[in-house]
Amino acid sequence: MRQILVISDIHYASDGEAARCGHEARVIENPLLRRASQMLRHWIWLREPHGHNHRLQRLIEANRLPDRVVANGDFSLDSGFIGVSDPEAYESARLALEQLREAYGSRLRTTLGDHELGKKSLFGGAGGVRLASWERAVGGLGIPGFWCEQMGRFVLVGLASTPLALPVFLPEMLPSETEAWRRIADGLWAQVRETFGGLEPGQRVVLFVHDPSALPFLSELPEVRARMDQIACTVVGHLHTPAVFRLGSHLAGMPVIPFLGNTVRRYSTALRRAGVWKEFRTVLCPSPSGIQLLKDGGWLELRLSDTGEVEVVRKKLPWDV
């Protein structure tokens, strides 16, 4: 039996990011939307996003001896909305990774989240995906776009979700950078083809992908489609709480809504094809804090048996502030 600790959506806040308290509301010009955003964050999502750094160390203290640790993306608050090309967001991610690497050393694997690369703000439309953030995340922070490791009968695979879901994110990219993003995506697809095409019949895959928006695109790849029955488990983050994951599953197949802003377009595009989540045997790793309304944060523990089965255990992190 092998044990894998999965952590996602740490959203660590450096001093610089913590000083930007209220960053989402400040980029919303419409006063009604600004007020709605503030109420959503205060009562439902997360009242003080910069006030949860301590949860990372508590999570580490509760998990000293796993065989592997996968940190499944979103290490900073991304308060500048342009990923880690923003110096303050870069420092947040660096501090979070420093703690993880000190605790777990060579046992740690990391995947890229959407906030490492940038994304437009929820209502304000500020920011977006930036090529410089990819370069700083991969080159500066050492978070690869792809990684693969064999563990007994299992093949563990980590993938950067944003380039794989490129059509969803193209409207958030600078036109001058889209060709470079296509080359990055092509390189990732080549690695996915090689990995899945080279699977032996008895091997089982555990996928780590931050944003489930990438899964419909993965399902279209012939090498993946031909070996879906060998996928034992796919772990995603991004959604922070099982409540949103369940809601997304129920809304699978909804039409794309193109006229209510970029964020609604992105979410509805992802939900349109969310039916494939079941095919990938998808499970959610919650954020350490969960959401304000439910206080349901924690982590996942994957137990890999010698027979090729995966037991997924959700662990809760007590909400004490």
Model confidence pLDDT, tens digit, residues 193-218 = 999 999 999 999 999 999 999 999 99
Amino acid at 153: R
Residue 79 resides in a domain: yes
Residue 321 resides in a domain: no
Residue 295 resides in a domain: yes
Distance CA 79, CA 239 (A): 18
* Choice among 12-21, 91-100, 119-128, 247-256 with the minimum mean pLDDT: 247-256
- Tell whether the torsion through CA atoms of 319, 321, 247 and 277 is positive or negative: negative
Contact predicate 24/11, CB 8 Å: no
**What DSSP state is assigned to residue 66?**
-
Residue 99 resides in a domain: yes
Distance CA 260, CA 248 (A): 18
Residue 163 resides in a domain: yes
| Per-residue H/E/C for 82-141 | CHHHCHHHHHHHHHHHHHHHHHHHHHEEECCCHHHHCCCCCCCCCCCECHHHHHHHHHHC
Model confidence pLDDT, tens digit, residues 90-134 = 999 999 999 999 999 999 999 999 999 999 877 757 899 999 999
Residue 30 parent element (H or E): none
Residue 166 resides in a domain: yes
Cα distance between the two ends of the chain: 35
Contact predicate 298/270, CB 8 Å: no
Q: What's the number of domains the chain is made of?
A: 1
Tell how many helices (H) and how many strands (E) occur in the chain.
15, 10
Residue 24 resides in a domain: yes
Distance CA 220, CA 232 (A): 18
For residue 258, pLDDT beyond 60: no
- Tell whether the torsion through CA atoms of 85, 268, 274 and 243 is positive or negative: positive
Mean pLDDT of the chain: 91
Residue 107 resides in a domain: yes
Query: Domain range for residue 294?
Result: 2-316
Give 170's pLDDT tier (boundaries 50, 70, 90).
very high
Give 256's pLDDT tier (boundaries 50, 70, 90).
low
Rg, the chain, Cα only: 18
CATH number at residue 269: 3.60.21.10
**Per-residue pLDDT at 45:** 86
Q: What are phi and psi of 51, to 5 degrees?
A: -110, 25
Task: Find the helix packing angle between 54-61 and 87-104, rounded to 10°.
Answer: 10
CA distances from 116 to 135, 167, 289 (A): 10, 18, 19
